[in-house]
């Protein structure tokens, strides 16, 4: 039974299963991505329409698989949960291997045998010193040619080895060595931080997933629309009130939007402001564990804060300006003509069913007014930015709209995410892990320095071409350092 | 604004890249070193014009050129060109230009079809230093993925080539190394820039790390794809031809993800 359990656990944390799980999550995400483009999120509310358009079977399938909101469906959650479980178990069972793999570099076992390696070279100390065809003659050839081994003393060997080790260290390798009667076995390794990086990245992903789950289940957000100068109860905290003291759209000279700014006060039950400040896009306001975001704004079509009209009475030549309030008739100078502001539209467009606002942004503000004179009343539009389109009234007066400030409702999103700190910690760990993983290129070179010469070897490397170049560079550097070109120690 | 200096430089660089591509094609046919040097010189000249165009745009608008799809595409293609120059300088294989230059041209053709209006004022959501981190890293990552796919195409061409062509084309080992290295550069940049920096910025701007917006989902799909590829490749599997094919498929997903917001809408609808 234990064997079976062990085998099952082994399969669950195997690389093959990890690949299957990543592939499953990839497939689920891809399917969800496609589904969101085909099935609208309001699918459940428009069931009859889709039943008619797509047929009952398709509607049943979409409903059963929750394809109108695929990323909150049972199958996507299952794929995520599986990913989390496999990641957790892999880390828990393989943390030692993941963390320390590139730190453990065993020394070669015996002289002349740094392992069966693809790349290798060997030099005779004496021949290197002499500089005579050193790059051609290995130890064996030297011994065969002269019939004797040209050995050096233990002190000289240590001196040569320290110079070889310095060459490796200069290239970013860490050198460990062990001296025995046969000589000095050494292993040079670079890019050792890769394994801890791998571990950190995996832990980071795990922490991010945990943070995401905490945020999904324990976090909340609510949207409030508040008219400037008014207040609403603070979401999920009856003891506080959220008051918007001001809201403004900061624009450039070319009327490009620079910023949206809400000046907000959080007021307690005694009327005391416990927090206040400006809320802008990218600059949320913090109230304890909650944050207030500038999300959007809206304008009520029939409201405006202030409107100013300049008039010119054509008969008398009198000029002046008037401030208008909604639905309040105002007399023009001492004449019998009155103006009444009826309706405000922030982004005026004319459609088949009359005037309407194309957006909440005051791109084309227009004010509908009624001009009454001698018992006759006439309605028409005045435009803030397009004065040529102003209505010409039968009454002997020219009117120009010079100012019209809408009443804004700022859209603030109040939210709390207890998983935010966990997520940020996960991002930090995973980022550091990634940098270590991909900035470190692990390489291992082993060798043995014997009294008669040195043998250096390296195995396979992922990037064969570059590593061959590096290995050839190491060979050349050792030849130069020990040989006559490097001088005598 | 559209006929401004930056746009003119863009078109100059486009035509020079096109000329470089044609000369690279001739080089592939005749294999004369002089032709290769001419093609490389034309490519470097195009890159200089490309860089000047981006600099002009930056100066004109007062912000780095990442705020529109056009600017992003031009910056991403600049990253591709730079990656190619680095690879060429390191491995001395001009023939890579035969594949990289047309891929680059495709990105520039896409850019040329996008609105080129320059705005001095960034929209409020983009006024954050996270914007520069997010977009720069994502553009560089996608540039690296394009280079990987280019090397993948040459790898497949090499497999089907005759003996003479094989001597001319870079070795399989070298091509695999270029693919592998490009993916290893692109993946961390994409993870940190497109996903992590994007999520943190979204938290500041919108109050949530993740919204399942089409662009975000596309990025997640792309990230999972490359996670899968690298997870296997690091362990010694999915190498050679498989890696070459996967790098090309990855580019196809990246293109859909990049262009997604043109069709799908969502929070990332910055045309």
Q: What is the ipTM of this complex?
A: 0.85
pLDDT at B269 over 60: no
Task: State the pLDDT confidence band at B259, using cuts at 50, 70 and 90.
Answer: confident
pLDDT of residue B2: 46
Whether B92 has its CB under 8 Å from any CB of chain A: the answer is no
pLDDT of residue A278: 94
Q: Is A29 within 8 Å of B224 when comparing Cβ atoms?
A: yes
pLDDT of residue B173: 85
Residues in chain A: 489
Mean pLDDT of A34-45: 89
pLDDT at B3 over 70: no
Contact, B88 vs B30, CB < 8 A?
no
Contacts of B228 in chain A (CB under 8 A): 19, 22-23, 26
Domain boundary among B89, B116, B143: B116
Please tell me the distance from the alpha carbon of residue A361 to that of residue A93, in angstroms, as a whole number.
57
pLDDT at A302 over 90: no
Contacts of A257 in chain B (CB under 8 A): 121, 123-124
Contacts of B264 in chain A (CB under 8 A): 37
Mean pLDDT of A177-197: 89
Nearest to B111 by CA among B66, B71, B52, B60: B71
Secondary structure tally for chain A: helices H, strands E: 11, 20
Nearest to A341 by CA among A297, A301, A314, A313: A301
Residue B138 within any structural domain of the chain:
no
Which of A319-323, B21-25, B115-119 is the least confident region? B115-119
- Let me know whether B257 and B173 are in one domain: yes
Greater confidence (B147 vs A5) lies with B147
Smallest Cα distance from B160 to chain A, Å: 22
- Let me know whether B45 and B101 are in one domain: yes
- Let me know whether B12 and B98 are in one domain: yes
pLDDT of residue A486: 43
Smallest Cα distance from B78 to chain A, Å: 23
* Angle, CA of A81, A86 and A92, to the nearest 5°: 125
Nearest to A21 by CA among A82, A78, A98: A82
Residues in chain B: 271
pLDDT of residue A487: 40
Please tell me the distance from the alpha carbon of residue A59 to that of residue A43, in angstroms, as a whole number.
9
**Which residue ranges form the domains of chain A, and what is each CATH number?**
2-96 (no CATH), 105-191+441-486 (3.30.160.110), 314-404 (no CATH)
Nearest by CB to residue A221, choosing from B171, B207, B217, is: B207
pLDDT of residue A154: 85
Q: Chain B interface, mutation test: which of A417, A427, A435, most B Cβ atoms within 10 Å? A: A427
Q: Is A464 within 8 Å of B221 when comparing Cβ atoms?
A: no
Q: Is A465 within 8 Å of B177 when comparing Cβ atoms?
A: yes
- Let me know whether B265 and B208 are in one domain: yes
Please tell me the distance from the alpha carbon of residue B195 to that of residue B267, in angstroms, as a whole number.
15
Residue B102 within any structural domain of the chain:
yes
Whether B187 has its CB under 8 Å from any CB of chain A: the answer is yes
pLDDT of residue A148: 54
pLDDT of residue A109: 67
Mean pLDDT of A174-180: 91
- Let me know whether B181 and B263 are in one domain: yes
Give the chain A residue nearest B90 (alpha carbons): A466
Nearest to A190 by CA among A175, A178, A212, A203: A175
- Let me know whether B6 and B108 are in one domain: yes
Residue B137 within any structural domain of the chain:
no
* DSSP state, residue A133: S
pLDDT of residue B64: 87
pLDDT of residue B29: 84
Task: State the pLDDT confidence band at A488, using cuts at 50, 70 and 90.
Answer: very low
Give the chain B residue nearest A252 (alpha carbons): B121
pLDDT at A224 over 70: yes
pLDDT of residue A340: 92
pLDDT at A179 over 70: yes
Smallest Cα distance from B264 to chain A, Å: 7
Which of A147-156, A243-252, A411-420, B89-98 is the least confident region? A147-156
- Domain count for chain B, please give it: 2
pLDDT of residue B33: 87
pLDDT at A424 over 70: yes
Which of A375-384, B201-210, B258-267 is the least confident region? B258-267
pLDDT of residue A51: 92
Give the chain B residue nearest A71 (alpha carbons): B212
Which B positions 227-246 lie with beta carbon below 8 A of chain A? 227-228, 231-232, 235
Which of A176-190, A415-429, B117-131, B245-259 is the least confident region? B117-131
- Let me know whether B211 and B108 are in one domain: no
- Let me know whether B70 and B184 are in one domain: no
- Let me know whether B271 and B156 are in one domain: yes
Tokens 């039968």 appear where?
A394
Secondary structure tally for chain B: helices H, strands E: 10, 0
pLDDT of residue A149: 57
Nearest by CB to residue A281, choosing from B125, B196, B209, is: B125
Residue B129 within any structural domain of the chain:
no
- Let me know whether B178 and B87 are in one domain: no
pLDDT tens by residue, A78-118: 999 999 999 999 888 888 877 777 777 777 765 555 555 67
pLDDT of residue A134: 46
Helix, strand and coil percent figures for chain A, each rounded to 5: 40, 35, 25
Contacts of B134 in chain A (CB under 8 A): none
Residue B142 within any structural domain of the chain:
no
Contacts of A90 in chain B (CB under 8 A): none
Smallest Cα distance from B206 to chain A, Å: 7
Strand order in the sheet with A443-449: A119-124, A453-458, A443-449, A183-190, A174-180
Give the chain B residue nearest A469 (alpha carbons): B91
pLDDT of residue B38: 94
Burial of A133 (0-12, 13-18, 19+ CB in 10 A): exposed
Domain boundary among B116, B141, B172: B116
Q: Is B125 within 8 Å of A259 when comparing Cβ atoms?
A: no
pLDDT tens by residue, A439-459: 888 888 999 998 888 889 887
pLDDT at A316 over 80: no
pLDDT tens by residue, B133-174: 998 999 889 889 988 998 899 899 887 766 666 667 788 888
Give every CB contact of residue A121 below 8 A, 6+ residues apart in sequence: A138, A455, A456, A457, A475
Beta-bridge mates of residue A446: A187, A457
Please tell me the distance from the alpha carbon of residue A174 to that of residue A187, in angstroms, as a whole number.
8
Greater confidence (B143 vs A434) lies with A434
Contact, A393 vs A339, CB < 8 A?
no
Q: Chain B interface, mutation test: which of A29, A102, A254, most B Cβ atoms within 10 Å? A: A29
Mean pLDDT of A122-131: 73
Residue B145 within any structural domain of the chain:
no
* H or E stretch covering B244: helix B240-264
Contacts of A282 in chain B (CB under 8 A): 124-125, 127-128, 130, 201, 204-205
Domain boundary among B65, B94, B116: B116
- Let me know whether B171 and B249 are in one domain: yes
Smallest Cα distance from B128 to chain A, Å: 7
Please tell me the distance from the alpha carbon of residue B129 to that of residue B203, in angstroms, as a whole number.
14
Domain of residue B168: give its range.
Answer: 151-271
Q: Chain A interface, mutation test: which of B92, B124, B128, B131, most A Cβ atoms within 10 Å? A: B124
- Let me know whether B62 and B159 are in one domain: no
């Amino acid at each position: 039974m234990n064997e079976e359990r062990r085998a099952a656990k082994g399969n669950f944390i195997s690389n093959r299963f990890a690949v299957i799980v990543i592939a499953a999550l990839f497939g689920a995400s891809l399917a969800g991505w496609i589904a969101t483009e085909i099935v609208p999120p309001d699918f459940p509310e428009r069931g009859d329409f889709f039943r008619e358009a797509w047929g009952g079977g398709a509607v049943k399938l979409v409903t059963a698989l929750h394809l109108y909101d695929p990323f909150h469906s049972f199958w996507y959650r299952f794929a995520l949960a599986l990913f989390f479980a496999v990641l957790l178990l892999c880390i828990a069972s393989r943390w030692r291997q993941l963390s320390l793999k590139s730190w453990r570099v065993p020394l070669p076992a015996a002289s002349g045998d740094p392992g069966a390696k693809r790349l290798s070279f060997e030099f005779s100390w004496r021949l290197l010193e002499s500089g005579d065809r050193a790059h051609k003659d290995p130890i064996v050839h030297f011994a065969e040619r002269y019939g004797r081994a040209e050995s050096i003393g233990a002190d000289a060997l240590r001196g040569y080895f320290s110079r070889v080790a310095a060459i490796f260290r200069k290239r970013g390798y860490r050198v460990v060595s062990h001296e025995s009667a046969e000589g000095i076995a050494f292993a040079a390794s670079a890019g050792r931080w890769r394994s801890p990086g791998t571990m950190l990245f995996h832990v980071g992903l795990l922490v991010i997933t945990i943070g995401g789950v905490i945020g999904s289940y324990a976090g909340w957000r609510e949207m409030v629309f508040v008219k400037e100068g008014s207040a609403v109860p603070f979401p999920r905290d009856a003891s506080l009130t959220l008051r918007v003291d001001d809201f403004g759209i900061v624009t450039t000279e070319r009327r490009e939007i620079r910023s949206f700014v809400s000046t907000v006060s959080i007021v307690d039950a005694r009327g005391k402001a416990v927090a206040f400040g400006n809320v802008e896009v990218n600059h949320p306001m913090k109230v304890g564990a909650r944050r207030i975001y500038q999300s959007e704004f809206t304008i009520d079509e029939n409201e405006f804060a202030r409107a100013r009209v300049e008039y010119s009475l054509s008969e008398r030549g009198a000029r002046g300006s008037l401030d208008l309030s909604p639905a309040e008739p105002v007399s023009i100078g001492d004449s019998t003509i009155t103006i009444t502001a009826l309706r405000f539209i922030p982004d005026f467009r004319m459609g088949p069913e009359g005037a309407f606002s194309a957006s909440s942004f005051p791109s084309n503000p227009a004010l509908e007014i009624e001009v009454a004179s001698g018992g006759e009343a006439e309605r028409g539009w005045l435009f803030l930015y397009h004065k040529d389109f102003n209505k010409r009234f039968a009454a002997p007066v020219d009117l120009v709209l010079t100012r019209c400030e809408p009443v804004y409702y700022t859209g603030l999103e109040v939210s709390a995410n207890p998983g935010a700190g966990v997520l940020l910690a996960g991002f930090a760990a995973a980022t550091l892990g990634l940098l270590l993983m991909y900035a470190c290129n692990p390489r291992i070179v082993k060798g043995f320095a014997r009294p008669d010469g040195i043998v250096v070897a390296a195995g396979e490397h992922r990037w064969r071409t570059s590593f061959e170049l590096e290995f050839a560079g190491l060979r050349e550097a050792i030849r130069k350092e020990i040989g006559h070109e490097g001088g005598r120690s | 604004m559209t006929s401004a200096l930056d746009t003119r430089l863009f078109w100059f660089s486009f035509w020079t890249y096109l000329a470089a591509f044609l000369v690279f094609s001739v080089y592939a046919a005749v294999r004369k070193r002089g032709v290769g040097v001419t093609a490389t010189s034309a490519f470097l000249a195009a890159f200089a014009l490309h860089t000047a165009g981006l600099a002009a745009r930056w100066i004109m608008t007062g912000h780095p050129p990442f705020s529109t799809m056009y600017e992003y595409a031009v910056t991403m293609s600049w990253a591709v060109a730079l990656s190619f120059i680095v690879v060429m300088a390191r491995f001395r294989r001009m023939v890579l230009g035969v594949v990289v230059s047309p891929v680059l041209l495709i990105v520039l053709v896409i850019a040329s079809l996008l609105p080129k209006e320059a705005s001095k004022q960034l929209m409020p959501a983009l006024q954050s230093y996270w914007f520069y981190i997010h977009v720069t890293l994502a553009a560089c990552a996608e540039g690296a993925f394009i280079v990987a796919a280019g090397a993948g195409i040459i790898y497949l061409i090499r497999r089907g080539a005759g003996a003479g062509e094989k001597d001319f084309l870079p070795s399989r080992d070298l091509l695999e190394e270029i693919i592998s290295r490009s993916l290893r550069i692109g993946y961390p940049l994409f993870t940190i820039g497109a996903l992590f920096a994007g999520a943190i910025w979204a938290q500041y701007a919108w109050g949530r790390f993740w919204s399942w917006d089409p662009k975000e989902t596309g990025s997640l799909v792309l990230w999972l794809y490359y996670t899968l590829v690298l997870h296997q490749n690091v362990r010694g599997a999915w190498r050679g031809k498989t890696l070459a094919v996967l790098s090309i498929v990855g580019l196809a997903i990246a293109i859909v993800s990049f262009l997604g917001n043109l069709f799908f809408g969502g929070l990332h609808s910055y045309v």
